[in-house]
Chains A and B, each alone.
Chain A
Amino acid sequence: MDKIKIQFVLNGETRQVEVEPDLLLIDLLRERLGLTGTKVGCGEGDCGACTVLLNGKNVNSCLLLAARVNGCEVVTVEGLGSYDKLHPLQEAFIAEGAVQCGFCTPGMLLSAKSLLDVNARPTREEIARHIAGNLCRCTGYTKIINAIEKVACADRHCACSREAEEGR
């Protein structure tokens, strides 16, 4: 199979790679580029563990051909925070106890980011709906929603942040 040359921005850095036409984005990220922070839970687009941001939108990288990201911007969990400062969502997930086994966490964080980037003040229901494609077997989601809500409400002293504090 002839390889395709693609160029895309990965976590802020321009990358040029040659990929087979049938190579999946998840395999490009994990196997070729060594970014194993993104996980795979089903390989069928059901669980969201492989979620990355494609031009800011949350996508299942297990269903996407790598060639498709030519000219696009891709963000993985490795590009979320920086070495000296975690992303506020990462901080909130830690503080709220939104992490257990951690396998869904990278995908969950990126889904959350894609929501907050377009809707700075989502309701709990909007958060739940947005992350419904990201399965988590450990946490029961409540503390994940609390964490996302906390970031959304960080600059405000609104009722929902108080509820999150109370462990709603």
Chain B
Amino acid sequence: MSDRQYRHVGQSPKRIEAQEKVTGRATYTFDMELPGMLHAKCLHSPYAHAEIVAIDTSAAKALPGVKAVLTGEDIPYLLGLYMIDKRVLARGKVRYQGEAVVAVAAVDEETAEKALSLIKVEYKELPAVLTIDEALEGKILVHEDINELEYIKGVFFPQPDSNIASWNKTIKGDIKQGFAEADLIVENELSLPPVGHAPMETHVAIAQADPYSKQIKIWSSTQSPFGVRQLLAKALGVSKGDIQVIAPYVGGGFGGKAGIHLEPLATVLSRVCKGRPVKVTATREEEFNQLPSRAAMRGRVKTGVKKDGTITAVEIYYDWDSGAYADYGVNVGRAATYSGAGPYEIPNIELHSRTLYTNKVFSTAYRGFGHLETHWIIERQMDMVARALGMDPYEFRMKNILRDGSVTISGEHINAYSGRPDKCLEAVAKEIGWTGYRSPEERQAAFKTGKVRGKGLASLQKAPAMPTNTSTAAIMQMDEDGNVRLMVGGVDMGQGSNTVMAQIAAEVLDMPLEKIKVVWENDTDRHPYDWSTVASKYTFMGGNAVKRCAQNLLKQMKELAAQILRCPVEELAYGEESIYHVQHSKKKRIAYKDLAMGYSYENGNSIGGPLVAHGVYIAEGLTYLNPDTGQGLPALDWTFGAHGVELEVDIETGEVEIIKIASAFDVGQAINRKLVEGQIIGGVLQGIGSALIEGFKFSPDGRLLNPSFTDNKIPTAKDIPAKIVPIIVEYPQLDGPFGARGIGEHPMISVPSVIANALYDALGIDFYELPMSPEKIALAIKKNGIQ
């Protein structure tokens, strides 16, 4: 572990904006009210797939207080991140139940809602694509124009005349030979439903489109203001300079607020309303049913192993039931190709990942970016293969786990500084006292007590999924009193990135943390660029940019001080917010604040000028993946981890109580220990939600049946494990800031798998579908004749 001593890094200062949040002073987009502001509401499709025959908006338009009524026919723009496939409002046909069809802007929400009730839409229902098999069959097409859609070539691979938005693959070695060498082949199929992000603040956007120019000003609950600017500029055909996007406090993101969502609708409405600001606030139902979710997925996996536990070959088909539009879904599918076989060395692999269009609410990035899903398949499979071999699943994982010298499935060479999945697994196994599966006899004896306990293990890995040229920047300015104002491109949506950036700045400058003021409310007109706050990449990338920025500020101060102290820069040191000569009297030290606006000599002569520094970071060394084989370097940094769990099942009710869950992650170097723990504890509970509680349910005709917290429960305080043990493993990454790696998404990955593995230990029953609800568990117990 790290034995370096830092003043700020690795400590746990309180988050810098906490006071604003506990006093209610923090203003979210949801709280904003602008002069003359209008409110917009949407009418949604009641059908999963239907032709829009006619829309009559005349009565709505005539209602006093209504300022605009728009349909898809009024808005020519096409939007999309990777596949340009989505309209602001449905045009010609609707592709999922819940899709926005008509939008109304009115003086208040009530009037807008009343107007919606006056709109008549005539639909002609079409047969819908509602399952993975129907999508693959391709008899009905969700996008009949798939062959004409614009997309990023060479990265995504839509298949002609099909529902396959992208077919990405990894092909390494020779699986035929690998399976021929195997002593045992194990095949399984597992699946999981869509899950909603459920941020406490729903999506909100306010737009003000200047009627006299092309200028558009947007306030949004976004985690990617520069992404909104980029995508909106492209769709509208205007310059990026015409668009200003501001991100006030964001009430949770989890990936769902990346990309572009309600901003274009607010913009076109404001345009029609002659520049009055228009606010679109998603209701909780819209958050579930109009805005995107995490995709459903089916994984089919075949693993070949030798008797000693060495994996010889793996074949995987991941089929993503990704809904009506591609959004981030195709990139989730792509990430699965290089990361979807777990943190193991696999010499021969064929991994196919197909992102499918279906007539359901579309999918996007969700904390883990496909990794909770792929690890649900892989980490269950690892246990089932170990069992088939008669081997302890801990030993089986350790036998194949990535180590210094291993090669990943995309051909990346792992070295001593890539992180240690083995140490994470070792730590959690020790914490829960793993001694192997219990025997059938032990299990039988436990059944008699009515409550049975089980333990399980699971590993995980994730690297950021992002373009090879992803970049970020930071700017610092020093005030007259020596305080530093830091502006970064990343959005702090609750993960605490601004606190982490302040700590890094304070560490490099050797200053008190309170003297670093991070400028809140990211504004694309003022803040430096950042691609998007996603992928658990901000501590790494933003941290490096801030570190370089602070080093640049220090360099400027030293260069100025060298003139004043009449010595070479190399002979200067810094500390206690001042610059001094390493040998000379410390009385001659020059305070940072005396350099801040330029230095003035006794006679009034002045040199230097206001201190302004910048630092940038661009992902280093990433390559495109070979389109046929998926080989290349997609990963900036891998964060490896593992969970160990002990749980108790009530035989009668099927209820699961988690006695203890230990979760270890090799974060390289924790910058803020308390924030890392916060990510682990919060992520683990979100993972428990996916494992035991959450999941969309659809009617046979494709209607979402549970778009509310009443029917789509998320974990409450009563659902927390009796004990969560966050374990911070620190084997530094050489190019991470102070050795740090990302942690935001990882804690929820593999939580469903570890729980299912422990359920097997407890019950001797394998679960293949999520969520593992009490009724599902109780029914399985009954079916297996356990009493």
Contact = CB atoms under 8 A, between A and B. Distances in A.
Given A94-B14, A105-B21, A105-B22, A44 B678 contact: no
Interface in A96-151: 97, 99-106, 109, 127-129, 131-145
A103 B422 CA distance: 37
Contact of A101 (B27, B493, B677, B686): B493
B200 A101 contact: yes
A21 interface: no
Contacts of A95: 14
A46 interface: yes
8 contacts: A41-B201, A100-B496, A101-B251, A103-B199, A109-B22, A127-B717, A137-B200, A142-B724
A167 B677 contact: yes
Interface residues of B, number: 58
B24 A36 contact: yes
B709 A135 contact: yes
A86 B22 contact: yes
A137 B724 CA distance: 16
B570 interface: no
A103 B23 contact: no
Contact of A131 (B202, B252, B496, B717): B717
B626 to A, nearest CB: 38
A51 B102 CA distance: 33
Given A103-B200, A128-B718, A135-B709, A77 B24 contact: yes
Interface centre among A39, A99, A105, A136 (most CB of B within 10 A): A99
A135 B111 CA distance: 30
A76 interface: yes
B19 A86 contact: yes
A49 to B, nearest CB: 6
A128 B14 contact: no
Nearest to B712: A46
B250 interface: yes
Interface in A44-90: 44, 46-47, 49, 76-78, 80-81, 86, 90
Interface in B654-708: 674-675, 677-678, 681-686, 708
Contact of A140 (B15, B495, B682): B682
Contacts of B716: 132-133, 135, 141
Given A47-B709, A133-B716, 11 more contacts: A39-B30, A77-B22, A94-B18, A97-B12, A101-B199, A101-B200, A102-B21, A103-B200, A104-B200, A129-B718, A141-B717
By DSSP majority rule, is chain B's interface helix, strand, loop, or mixed?
loop
A97 B200 contact: no
* 3 nearest CB pairs, A to B: A37-B24, A101-B494, A102-B21
A137 B22 contact: no
Nearest to B720: A141
Interface centre among B23, B201, B494, B709 (most CB of A within 10 A): B23
B24 A140 contact: no
A121 to B, nearest CB: 18
A33 interface: no
A137 B686 contact: yes
Interface of B: 12, 14-15, 17-28, 30-31, 33, 197-202, 249-254, 283-284, 493-496, 674-675, 677-678, 681-686, 708-710, 714-718, 720, 723-724, 726
A40 interface: yes
A39 to B, nearest CB: 7
A78 to B, nearest CB: 5
A100 B495 contact: yes
Contacts of A90: 19, 22-23
A122 B726 CA distance: 25
A93 B18 contact: yes
A44 B682 contact: no
A41 B200 contact: yes
A142 B677 CA distance: 11
B200 A94 contact: no
A3 interface: no
A39 B201 contact: yes
A86 B726 CA distance: 30
A4 interface: no
B709 A44 contact: yes
A140 B31 contact: no
Given A104-B200, A144-B717, A40 B30 contact: yes
A5 interface: no
A106 B24 contact: yes
Contact of B681 (A38, A86, A131, A139): A139
A40 to B, nearest CB: 7
A39 B204 CA distance: 13
A31 B413 CA distance: 58
A136 B21 CA distance: 14
Contacts of A15: none
A165 to B, nearest CB: 12
Contact of B252 (A37, A137, A141): A137
Contacts of A97: 12, 14-15, 674-675, 677-678
Contacts of B22: 77, 86, 90, 93-94, 99, 102, 105-106, 109
A48 B24 CA distance: 15
